[in-house]
Structure 1
């Protein structure tokens, strides 16, 4: 299929058993990042979305095993992003992807209140010819919170973006974090299976609510202190603030997290929320080979651990700071 004189980008989606019965336009908008339901409906009117090879309607319900074909319009280069050179290390790059080791304090992409100084602004500066959708966050397939450090993958081509999105949405990507939480976590390992949605009272926060989207977090204890526990965390889903919300839900908020109860008196100084995206494993969108990347705990968080270990070694009570 062509749009004007240029080839459209074809995306194929297979309907899973858990998606059976969902409304078509809503499903596609949720599966493909950057697509609104109104845009999906526009594509349907143009005949650019097919179900099992046939035209479809927005309110149509999908069935298990259905095959969807979505023909996206050609990519237009972003024009409204200001290039900014920022100290964000690149730890891997090829023709299809670029992987950053994002420092804390940097937002992933521009948003109200954060129009500048984002990772996308830095991407525009170092790769000015990048032409990939969506235009306001080109190549972004997942995000990290502003004060969370660690690995973040960006697609350099539209085909790579769509292939990576499919992996993130199918939960085939392995995502591991290091987190320090308040209190002593008793079990050596466990799973938090609790749905997450927008907090009904504080709309800037997320919360565990019965009507939320499924969210699954696995944890394993790495080290225990008298006032905290160091966890290795693996997430199956990627809900907004998932680890922070789930840890607070079980009574062990992330240390230094002011939004979800972790900004409380602690035995050593903490510069920011103690959460680091340390490990990613995914399939390369072009070669099909497994990509496995890991980044060590940054200096500011290592300092916190060293201070805690010093307290333990001295076997002295850590004074609670005001």
Structure 2
């Protein structure tokens, strides 16, 4: 078992909200070879119910129910699009408009398992986007998704020609190197080869807002992970 202690952002007697690190599965996959966040929470709470999930490489806010009644209620909110879901991500290039929406249905790739594509015959998918900061080669974006399709933001950003940074499925998957953003870059004498500044999907589930069964309004936020903050610091520093 991994020595990972889930970072609890909020909990009450009905549900628990966790800041999921990148690289950790939300729930067990078919192979069952890797530990998942759900299993780690089960070690802590005993039984726990899946309400929604995040991609393995996406970090940020995820909610699990502590009982069946809450599970049914929260699942209903997600299915009924009554949960506001906000993400932050870094994309390649600079979008031609500062804000907009991508309204493009998504379905599974006819041949490649695990890959999603935009297709009129797919399920409706709507993503709002806003440019937060531009760095020339890259842009920091804010997203709000109104539907919860698999890989939705990743597919939609590819669709408009600005894939998420370090996305192996919908982008080039290449790491961000300092040499690509710093004009006069030289390797230090100690290093034989350059180490990546950032080498994982640059997408973070930042905030969830919903009204729970007790009619309480919840705003649950997860700060940007350290590695994304460090990358942004470098991008700001070397922005020409």
TM-score by length of 2: 0.88
* CA shift for structure 1 position 114: 3.7
Residue 235 in 1 paired to residue 145 in 2? yes
Q: Distance in 1 between matches of 2:35 and 2:80?
A: 31
**CA contact 2:52–2:62 (8 Å) conserved in 1:** yes
Aligned to 1:104: 22
Residue 168 in 1 paired to residue 168 in 2? no
* CA shift for structure 1 position 115: 3.7
Q: Which runs of 5+ in 2 are unaligned?
A: 182-196
Aligned to 2:99: 189
Matches within 5 A, 1:246-265: 246-264=156-174
For residue 238 of structure 2, give the secondary structure of its aligned residue in structure 1: helix
Q: Distance in 2 between matches of 1:92 and 1:141?
A: 15
Of the three residues 150, 155, 162, the one matched with 2:65 is: 155
For residue 101 of structure 1, give the secondary structure of its aligned residue in structure 2: strand
Q: Distance in 2 between matches of 1:141 and 1:283?
A: 15
Aligned to 1:294: 221
Mean Cα deviation higher: 85-94 or 233-242: 85-94
* CA shift for structure 1 position 85: 5.4
* CA shift for structure 1 position 295: 1.4
Matches within 5 A, 1:35-114: 86-114=4-32
**CA contact 1:182–1:262 (8 Å) conserved in 2:** no
Aligned to 1:206: 116
- For the pair shown, the structure with the greater C-alpha radius of gyration is 1
Aligned to 2:230: 303
Aligned to 2:209: 281
Residue 245 in 1 paired to residue 155 in 2? yes
**Could you say if the C-alpha distance between residues 302 and 114 of structure 1 is closer, same or farther in structure 2, counting changes exceeding 3 Å?**
farther
* CA shift for structure 1 position 188: 1.0
**Could you say if the C-alpha distance between residues 187 and 110 of structure 1 is closer, same or farther in structure 2, counting changes exceeding 3 Å?**
same
* CA shift for structure 1 position 271: 2.1
* CA shift for structure 1 position 296: 1.1
Residue by residue over 1:246-293, the C-alpha shift from the partner in whole angstroms, topping out at 9 and shown as x without a partner, is: 0001100000101111424743532201000000001112x1111111
* Pairs aligned (count): 222
Runs of 4+ in 1 over 3 A off after TM superposition: none
Aligned to 1:220: 130
Q: Which runs of 5+ in 1 are unaligned?
A: 1-82, 131-137, 316-322
Matches within 5 A, 1:123-142: 123-128=41-46, 130=47, 138-142=48-52
